[in-house]
Amino acid sequence: VTGASFVVFNGALKTSSGFLAKSSIVEDGLMVQITRETMESLRQALRDKQDFRITCGKADTGDLKEYVDICWVENEEKTNKG
């Protein structure tokens, strides 16, 4: 679990790169590089207020993957008010 001050979603990852998605820590935030198709799905999920999971890592390996989960919550009392 990584806490971040901001998240950047970059939809320019090429499918020919061999990655499903890539995540990296940038300063005190998180950058997630995704394909155009995943970006379209993410945008729709945000419009519909649905949870969304991005699987990061190489497409052709069965190794341990990283996940970026976008979750909607009912209780906003524990969110950052600043």
β-partners of residue 34 are 21
User: What is the C-alpha separation between 63 and 15, in angstroms, rounded?
Assistant: 19
pLDDT of residue 36: 94
Q: What CATH number is attached to the domain comprising 29?
A: 3.30.1360.220
Q: Is the pLDDT of residue 75 over 80?
A: no
58 domain-assigned = yes
**Quick check: helix, strand or coil at residue 10?**
strand
Chain segment 60-74, per-residue pLDDT in tens: 877 667 899 999 888
48 domain-assigned = yes
User: What is the C-alpha separation between 46 and 40, in angstroms, rounded?
Assistant: 10
Q: Is the pLDDT of residue 80 over 80?
A: no
Range(s) of the domain holding residue 49: 6-70
How does DSSP assign 25-61, residue by residue? EETTEEEEEE-HHHHHHHHHHHHTT--EEEEEEETT-
Chain segment 6-51, per-residue pLDDT in tens: 999 999 999 899 899 999 988 889 999 999 999 999 999 999 999 9
Q: Is the pLDDT of residue 55 over 60?
A: yes
76 domain-assigned = no
Number of domains, the chain:
1
- The pTM of this model reads 0.79
